[in-house]
Amino acid sequence: MVAADLPDGIRQQVEALGTDQLRLEQYLDFVRNRTFRRTLLVHDDAPIQRDIPLDRIADLHVAAALASRPSDPTGTESKPAAVPPSDTDPVWQALEAHLPASAPVQDIVEQTGGHYDDVANRLFSYVLQGSAQLSVLPMAGGPVTDHPVASRIARDEVARGESWVTNQRHQGIQLDPYMVALIPLLDGSRDHEALVQGLADAVHSGAFELLNLDHEHVTERHSAVPVLREGLPRALDVLAYYALLE
């Protein structure tokens, strides 16, 4: 409905073209390449309130958007937050503390010790910028455990040959071949060492390419094990961050 998450130059041009709300949303469809229009049709005499009162989000859940991390050696990708907030903002710090899960809006208000209207206004501005998401139900995301479990939906999608999988926040996450090999192993039956051994089998079979610290290709199973053992904790942390663990 709004152009707040667009770069300044594009936002100004779109807002200049959109002389009314419907026209503005039409141009936003063009800019975002949004091919599925979601329009609420109502009777002519139905009251329309386009300004959203802050108390409307009081009973909702909120989560920080998952930002891309280009330094991830796994190649896992996700859409970055459109406008990264300041790390010194206590509201943003509270959201990040719950990543990848959401928290009730009221909990964020209590944790920051702020006035409801001030905190809600900040949260809503993050939502408009694309840096946070609101939901009716909690958005889940499990931690790394001794026997990690990946989302069943993600495991099913990988089993069907997909590299784009659905996380527990209903988002599409693209996996590299390493993660594609790892996800099916995360059914809760394997500890970390068993996961390393399973990945070593995958390397030996040619399922994905593995590089050591010297950027040399590792193909032999016995050489792959120490490299995989070193990198597995980071890979599991990445999966947890992207809400792919239960």
**99 and 119 housed in the same domain:** yes
Mapping DSSP to helix (H, G, I), strand (E, B) and coil, where does residue 170 land? coil
Interhelix angle for 116-129 vs 105-112, to 10°? 120
In this prediction the pTM is 0.75
**236 and 169 housed in the same domain:** yes
**235 and 158 housed in the same domain:** yes
Confidence check: pLDDT of 104 > 70? yes
pLDDT band at 242 (very low <50, low <70, confident <90, very high): very high
CA distance 42 to 19: 21
Q: What is the DSSP string of 90-106?
A: HHHHHHHHHTTS-EEHH
Least confident of 10-24, 143-157, 183-197, 232-246: 10-24
CA atoms within 13 A on the CB side of 34: 13
CA distance 225 to 229: 6
Instruction: Using a pLDDT cut of 90, give the percent of the chain over it.
Output: 57
For residue 236, being part of any structural domain is answered with yes
Asked which of 110, 139, 168 is the last residue of a domain, the reply is 139
Q: Within the chain, where are the H helices? A: 8-17, 21-32, 90-98, 105-112, 116-129, 152-159, 177-182, 192-205, 221-241
Q: Would you say 131 and 83 are in contact if contact means Cβ atoms under 8 Å apart?
A: yes
pLDDT band at 33 (very low <50, low <70, confident <90, very high): confident
Total structural domains within the chain: 3
Q: What is the pLDDT of residue 131?
A: 87
Confidence check: pLDDT of 71 > 60? no
Confidence check: pLDDT of 216 > 50? yes
Q: What is the pLDDT of residue 205?
A: 92
- The whole-chain average pLDDT of the chain stands at 87
The DSSP secondary-structure symbol of 189 reads S
Q: What is the pLDDT of residue 72?
A: 45
Least confident of 64-78, 89-103, 209-223: 64-78
Domain extent, residue 34, equals 1-48
pLDDT in tens, 222-235: 999 999 999 999 99
List the one residue out of 92, 97, 71 whose CA is nearest residue 81: 92
**56 and 124 housed in the same domain:** yes
